[in-house]
Amino acid sequence: MSTNPFFAPWTTPFAVPPFDIIRPEHFGPALERGMAEHLADIAAVTANPAPPDFANTIEAIERSGALFDRVASVFGNLVSSLGTDELQAIEMEFAPRFAQHGSRISLDPALFARIDALYDKRHTLGLAPDALRLLERHHLGLVRAGAKLGEAEKLLMAANSERLATLHAQFGQNVLHDEKEWHLALGADDLDGLPDFVVQGARQAAEERGFEGYAITLARSSIEPFLTFSRRRDLRKTAYAAWVARGEHDGPHDNRVLIPEILALRAERARLLGYDSYAAFRLADTMAASEANVARLTDEVWGAAKHRAAAERDRLMEVARADGINDRIEKWDWLHYAERVRIAAFDIDEAALKPYFVLENIQQAAFDTASRLFGLRFIARPDIPAYHPDMRAWEVQDADGHVGVFLADNYARGGKRSGAWMSSYRDQSTLDGPVSPIIVNNNNFARGTPTLLSFDDAETLFHEFGHALHGMLSRVRYPSQSGTSVRRDFVEFPSQIYEHWLAVPETLRRYALHHETGEPLPEALMQRLLSARNFNQGFATVEYTASAILDMALHAHPDPANFDVAAFERETLARIGMPDEIGARHRPPHFQHLFAGSGYAAGYYSYLWAEVLDADGFGCFEAAGDPFDPAVAARLRRILQAGDTEDPMSLYVAFRGSEPNTEALLRHRGLVALAGAQE
């Protein structure tokens, strides 16, 4: 084997991972050494004969495991962005070992004893606020990992973690398998209603799969436009059925057999820690704090959303009857007829808009918005090595110089995880001198020449870039508090508030330029676009909120080990009165937020919670009369800089001046007049 690049200093610009020389075979040895060094670092902390203090315990923990962190961050990102068979095999091998490694540290009694001793006298240590919070969060993290349990219970927790890690990896790989394997082949006679950009994307998808003609894939950027524009109801039904059946096929890739075990293991963890359910356990360390508070939020939105969706359905049926549909529209019909109603109501359609939303222009709009708000500059760096030809890199600077590196990987492709996400290859900190962040945004846009985005796609790009700014603008001492290392139902606030700037007329006039003529989006068309933003919000709110309610129900189930996942899904949706014509945005067998990891488990509601914050928070700029008001932008930057150094509600109140309420959310979605209304 050639020299392992993880065992040598990186001489790339800004010490970006040398992607051009990293190979799959490098990860095993590097992960092995990284875990060994990490355990040695922790052993040095616990063996220290000096009484525990903040420096020799908490700061020493913050410095521990540097090699492991470096290797694991590269590996985790490449598994998601590339998803090769080799990387997936390594993931399945190491997932339980990562969990075992984590348990050896979090359940180490000597380590907890030192932290617990510091915690008991924390208010006498004279710690700065960020250090005090770090101590408290370290202590809470270990308690929630099982550090106070007896030895038998600790063994159960460790075994539980290892098994969950394997199941999470297997769940995600099963969804990816279905997304890679399925496509709908189309001939020239099957293109009725499809605009040029959909046809072009389908042609390219077929070429990538080695045949002539056209193909619709299970990338959201492929299937949603097809469901929107295709006039072939039979083909829409076929595509929709495949879309909602991901992870739900008999055989080795069936996620239905994994979900009960995942839920049962999580419920076991919660009971070991003294909670009635996993939902109660997770919510105890969130802004929402309890199932009751989440239920109040979802219930308030649910009634208004269903009422709005019923009115939307009636309008869609008027058009559907002209096509001979006299009973009801189905789930595979909604997007199609919604688009036709939108054209009639607002004289606007997706095919007319897309030519104005060129990927490169919208990326630049996101950059320039950050420049105006926060004084950032983005300098293209083609000399930075890439892990795939789709990846692009920029150096980020402000008035004081280098801030970090931003990477963008925007296109859908086989093997890449579906959806959109932000991650980091290196987090910001200053504990031992300035460490600048390396942040990546992944999207799954359908490639074109040029690549044209829907308005929703453009919002997704802004959303993920809001997360990127949260990581990029971090200004903290300790790595554990950096950037997005905040409570789950606060992490979506910076991303969701950033979406607002896409819809600022000034942004659209400057960056929504026709890909052929360079002409800006016509003023009348822009006004119609903005007027139509709340169109179909009943549908959008119902499909999202149903998934959030289902998530909470799954994780509050008292005995999930042997339950029928499909039956529980049907019963839950029936109980809340789910409209027959609308499907939940995510069904359990492909709900990767919940089951490909625990990050959003009993936490999918957090997008709605954060929307309360972002809708209310953008009101600061509206009240100032300027979406780029410098004083308000400075207060927003303070949130982005703070990471997890302060309580999130305290940060929000310092920004806004008061706690938020749901009225701003309902108004933003066009539901305010319907709050509490029922069908």
Which residues are designated catalytic? 464
Euclidean distance between CA atoms 622 and 596, whole angstroms: 39
Burial of 93 per CB tally in 10 Å (0-12, 13-18, 19+): middle
Enter the tokens of residue 182: 């399925």
Per the listing, tokens 């938020």 go with 660
Say what angle helices 630-642 and 648-656 make with each other, to 10 degrees: 170
Report CA dihedral (102, 106, 110, 113) to the nearest 10 degrees.
160
Per the listing, tokens 């189309």 go with 186
Torsions phi, psi for 198 (to 5 deg): -70, -40
Enter the tokens of residue 499: 């979406």
What's the one-letter identity of residue 483? G
What's the one-letter identity of residue 433? G
Which residues does residue 479 pair with via DSSP β-bridges, in sequence order? none
Cβ atoms of residues 267 and 560 within 8 Å? yes
What's the one-letter identity of residue 116? D
Of 103, 110, 101, 107, nearest to 46 by C-alpha is 110
Euclidean distance between CA atoms 65 and 12, whole angstroms: 22
Identify the three-state secondary structure at position 275: coil
Of 366, 353, 452, 449, nearest to 408 by C-alpha is 366
Euclidean distance between CA atoms 485 and 470, whole angstroms: 10
Per the listing, tokens 């492929």 go with 222
Enter the tokens of residue 218: 């299970």
Q: Is the peptide bond before 437 cis (omega within 30 degrees of 0)?
A: no
Euclidean distance between CA atoms 216 and 239, whole angstroms: 8
Cα 500–chain centre separation: 18
Angle at 15 between CA 12 and CA 20, to 5 degrees: 45
Report CA dihedral (413, 416, 421, 423) to the nearest 10 degrees.
-120
Residues in Cβ contact with 238 at an 8 Å cutoff, skipping those fewer than 6 apart: 184
Q: How many CA atoms lie within 13 A of 337 on its CB side?
A: 25
Euclidean distance between CA atoms 609 and 147, whole angstroms: 30
Enter the tokens of residue 660: 């938020």
Would you give the DSSP letter of residue 384? S
Question: Which residue intervals of 250-408 are DSSP H helices?
Answer: 259-272, 278-283, 291-322, 334-346, 350-353, 359-374
Paired sense of beta strands 401-411 and 438-445, if any: parallel
Identify the three-state secondary structure at position 411: strand
Would you give the DSSP letter of residue 440? E
Enter the tokens of residue 623: 């009240």
Residues in Cβ contact with 410 at an 8 Å cutoff, skipping those fewer than 6 apart: 359, 363, 390, 392, 441, 442, 443, 445, 451, 461
Euclidean distance between CA atoms 420 and 570, whole angstroms: 28
